[in-house]
Structure formats: C-alpha cells, structure tokens
Amino acid sequence: MAVVVAPASPAEYDTAARLVCEAAPTFGLELRVGRFLAAIRGGEVDPAGVLLAKRDGQPVAAAVVQFIPGGTATALPPTPHSQAEAGDALAADIVAQFRARGTSLACLFLDPDDTTSAAPLVRHGFRSVTRLTHLLRAGGQLSLPPEPSADIQFEPVNDYAEFGATLMSTYEGTLDVPEACADRPAADVLAGYQANQPDPPLWWLARDPAGVPVGVVLLTHVGTPGVLELGYLGVVPAARGRGVGAALLQHAVRSAAAVGVHDLSLSVDERNEPALRLYHRHGFRSYQWQRVYLWRPRWE
C-alpha cells in the first residue's frame, strides 16, 4: 500500500516525537521527546506541521515543517532510518506546502556529521550551501568592550522603511549565507526578524557624522533566560573597512548588558572569515557547527 502523509493527531504526538527524535543517539531520547512535546503544548511548534507518514495505517516516519512570518520556513528532515519511500513522501509533502504558501526561503540545519538525514529533502530541491559556526560571548566572565566610536551614532528604529532599505543594502556582497539573501523583499526580511520579538524590537540604525546610514544591529530574544542573540549585524558596502563593524558589535554587547543580559550568542557562515575574526577579537567563542541546507523556489 502506498505511503500516506498527514499531520499527526494529538493522540499521535508522542509517536511523532519519538520518530523525529530518533535521529540522535539513544542516550537522552526521553528528554528530547519531552522537550518536543512541551514545545507543542507551549505553542513553540505548530502541530499542523508535525507530519506522519503511514503505511497500512501504521506510522513509519515523521518530519516537521514550520512556517515563519515573511515567507520563510524551517524543516526537520524525515526520520533518517525510515524507508526511502516514506522519506520521499514526507519531503514531497513539505515542498508542496512551500509552493502552496508562496514560501521564498526554507532552511534545514543539521550536525556536520549527519550526512544522511537530508537526502530525501535534497532529492526534492534542497541544497547544501555552507556550515554555520555558532558562537557565544559569556559576558559575565569578560569586561565590556569600549564605547563605540563617537563618529557612529545609534538610534532605535522608528522608520522601518529606512531601516529596511539599509538592511537590504548590507546584503550586497555579503559573505554570510548569500544564497539566502537574494531576491527577498525588505518587508519579508523584517517580518522574519520581528517574529516573536518585543515591540519595539531591540534594533538600531547606525549613522555616520553626516547622518548617512552605515549599518544595522538587531538583537533578538531566543527564549533562553539570560541570553540574547545577535540576530544580525550588517555594514553597507560604502562603509566597509572603516571600523563600522567593530562599532556595531561593541554597541550590541553594551546594549545587551544595559538590559541585564551579559551572554550573547550568534551564528555566522564559516566562509565569512572577516566576521569570525571580529567576533573572536571581542570574546566570542565557537561552541557548535551545523550544516545549512536551503530551498528556494527559483532553484526549481
């Protein structure tokens, strides 16, 4: 009988969680399953995106797709040890949902040594593009960086049009996952960053002495007490090589400390060597790597 894919029912959440979590080592499985179920109950995971593949009415594989404001989505791949037919059925359903909802960008993040989980999604249009380096600045153990140069002025965002235009300008020539940046409207990018963030968000526009925008800083809440994420830091092309990036980073660290948060995390494309050097100079240390897979409709 053919494999049938559908969202898991509430009675099937535990089964789906176990299938999704079995990709990792057996050790800690119950803890991972418990966290997954808690994320569903707490609204962090939309249950409509928890998918089960069944044959003869019996669950044989699972995957997760989640949609984010701004036309983006994330995915957890089909159970790695599932039969190829079930994995392909889940991957096909996920990509069909992308098309139906007009998704412009979908992301999948896997541990670098996981070379098999993504195979069904790759067969349906995902591409492996790079690895992300995750870094943390444990600020409680470090002194604050110096004040940013007085030549750079920071203002909280009050004009989203100007802020969005500046942010999009920083994407020009970017070394940070450029495959994800092209052909996306500023409104969609801002909506993605703003999802689940306070209003107003912790965003700043940086200007030079002439009042010209030279960069942006976005801090984001990630749900971990005592930690903020440096969601994005970008410098416009004309201002690069003038120390603006360092000023933006110093402002981000000091702004986090000003709201009582001393630990700051971030993720950066391992190909972005200038950014990695900057972060290391300011006390950030690598703690994890992940392989990045992307799906873009224009690649089909």
Eight-state DSSP code of residue 79: P
Tens of pLDDT along 173-216?
999 999 998 889 999 999 999 887 888 899 999 999 999 999 99
Question: What average pLDDT does the chain have?
Answer: 92
pTM of the model: 0.92
pLDDT at 224: 79
Confidence class for position 225, pLDDT limits 50, 70, 90: confident
Domain edges within the chain = 4-125, 136-289
Residue-wise pLDDT tens digits, 8-54: 999 999 999 999 887 655 567 888 899 999 999 999 999 999 999 99
pLDDT for the residue numbered 158: 86
Give the homologous superfamily in CATH for domain 4-125.
Answer: Gcn5-related N-acetyltransferase (GNAT) (3.40.630.30)
Q: Which of the four CATH numbers 1.10.520.10, 3.20.20.70, 3.40.50.11030, 3.40.630.30 does domain 136-289 have?
A: 3.40.630.30
Whole-angstrom distance, CA of residue 80 vs CA of residue 23: 6
Write the CA distances from 261 to 12, 33, 144, 216, 219, integer angstroms.
39, 30, 12, 20, 11
pLDDT value at position 82? Answer: 61
CA distance between the termini of the chain: 30
Is it true that 4-125 and 136-289 share their CATH fold? yes
**Beta carbons within 8 Å of 240's beta carbon, 6+ residues apart:** none
Residue of 47, 56, 57, 55 whose CA lies nearest to 16: 47
Per-residue model confidence as pLDDT tens digits over 72-95: 999 999 876 667 899 999 999 999
pLDDT in tens, 96-125: 999 999 999 999 999 888 878 899 999 999
Exposed, middle or buried by CB within 10 Å (0-12, 13-18, 19+), for 282? middle
